[in-house]
Structure 1
Amino acid sequence: MTLVESITGHYARLLRVVRSKGFNRDDAADIVQDAYARLTIAAERADVRNPGAFLHVTAINLIRDRGRASGLQRLAVENDAAPDEIACPAPSVERAIISRQDLAVLERALAELPPKRRAALVLYRFDNMSHAAIAQQLGLSISMVEKHVRLALDHCRLRLSEAGEVADG
């Protein structure tokens, strides 16, 4: 089943959920569209196992983000604060660039790992699976899964450390 086939039918339900949170039709449609755009981006990077759940969680997070943004605007109006006097909750441009660079280092580090080691780490860190569940899925012992996860994390830390030394030097 393709991604498009798996998300057909979610739009109307998601739109109802967003509208139930007090958004008008246009704003709700914008939020749902943003959720679909984020799903498309995520699906390009990794396998999205449950697109419907991904869309729902993303829409809820977007609703929260809008709530925070409107709260900051309301605070500014209430306090007559100038826009530049209100702290932005978003990371600084420098922090965002550093994070993107770290992400690129980690992606390369993951690509360097043997397949079972990479799978063990991804299942543990991103899918929140227990060592026992990973062992069963990969056909390994629990101690081997623990070893794979530990070595994978060590490898990622090493690559991040090396990248930091290159940037500093």
Structure 2
Amino acid sequence: MQRHGEEDLKAANQATLRQGIAGHYARLLRIVRSRGVNQDDAADIVQDAYARLTVAAERTEVHNPGAFLHVTAINLIRDRGRASISRGLSAANEAPPEDIACPAPSAERLIIGRQNIEVLERALGELPPKRRAALVLYRFDNMSHAAIAEQLGISISMVEKHVRLALEHCRLRLRQAGDVIDE
């Protein structure tokens, strides 16, 4: 009997996961491409990120699939870069010059980044639904104010107000937390 309950929970988690990741593919592909990755490699990285999300979701509940995908894709880009550098160094059989900066962020910067994501997730959760939707559509989906207004059934000036107030709220929460993300 308990087995049936576990299967129901797993099916519910998978359904929630599918709903949570719908629409992230195009945005994630744009993010990966903006990091200088070619189209084919970008598609592979995004697919790998989705595969890792699926595996993680089988083990535990993923509260923010979009953030998971984003962080995973960025880590995959870094991993590919490191592997590429490693192959190049092995082929050349020489040590890297000491004056070249490491492309990976420091451990401190990674921790700060993760803390900023948590602060922003909480800040987004504090926003009224239309304000949050306007900000997400504008910043993450790169929609125009006119398209957002049409989708949300509000005026363009109201979209501008929602986006402005949402950004101010997020910046305030980051300042209160003690760090500000580069814009």
The bucket for the TM-score relative to the shorter chain is 0.5 to 0.7
The answer on whether the counterparts of 1:76 and 1:83 sit within 8 Å (CA) in structure 2 is: no
3-state SS of 1:116 partner: helix
| Higher gyration radius (CA) | 1
Matched, 1:153 2:164: no
3-state SS of 2:178 partner: helix
* TM-superposed deviation, 1:35: 3.8
Identical counterparts, % of pairs: 56
Residue among 32, 45, 69 paired with 2:82: 69
Residues 124-163 of structure 1 aligned to structure 2 (within 5 Å):
124-163=138-177
| RMSD across aligned positions (CA) | 4.0
Distance (Å, rounded) in 2 between the aligned partners of 1:144 and 1:40: 41
Deviations 1:117-143 (A, max 9, x none): 011001111111111111011110000
* TM-superposed deviation, 1:70: 3.1
The answer on whether the counterparts of 1:76 and 1:86 sit within 8 Å (CA) in structure 2 is: no
Matched, 1:95 2:109: yes
TM-score scaled by structure 2? 0.57
Change (3 A) 1:34 1:108: closer
Letter in 2 for 1:73: S
Change (3 A) 1:158 1:92: same
Letter in 1 for 2:81: R
The answer on whether the counterparts of 2:120 and 2:174 sit within 8 Å (CA) in structure 1 is: yes
The residue that corresponds to 1:36 in the other structure is 51
Distance (Å, rounded) in 1 between the aligned partners of 2:96 and 2:118: 37
* TM-superposed deviation, 1:88: 3.5
The residue that corresponds to 2:121 in the other structure is 107
Change (3 A) 1:32 1:136: closer
Distance (Å, rounded) in 2 between the aligned partners of 1:87 and 1:115: 43
The answer on whether the counterparts of 1:123 and 1:129 sit within 8 Å (CA) in structure 2 is: yes
* TM-superposed deviation, 1:71: 2.6
Change (3 A) 1:162 1:44: closer
Distance (Å, rounded) in 1 between the aligned partners of 2:137 and 2:101: 37
Distance (Å, rounded) in 2 between the aligned partners of 1:32 and 1:141: 37
Q: Which sections of structure 2, spanning at least 5 residues, go unmatched?
A: 1-13, 23-39
Aligned residues: 134
Residue among 136, 140, 155 paired with 1:122: 136
TM-score scaled by structure 1? 0.61
Distance (Å, rounded) in 1 between the aligned partners of 2:93 and 2:148: 53
Distance (Å, rounded) in 1 between the aligned partners of 2:149 and 2:55: 30
* TM-superposed deviation, 1:66: 5.4
Higher mean displacement: 67-76 or 99-108: 67-76
The answer on whether the counterparts of 2:53 and 2:65 sit within 8 Å (CA) in structure 1 is: no
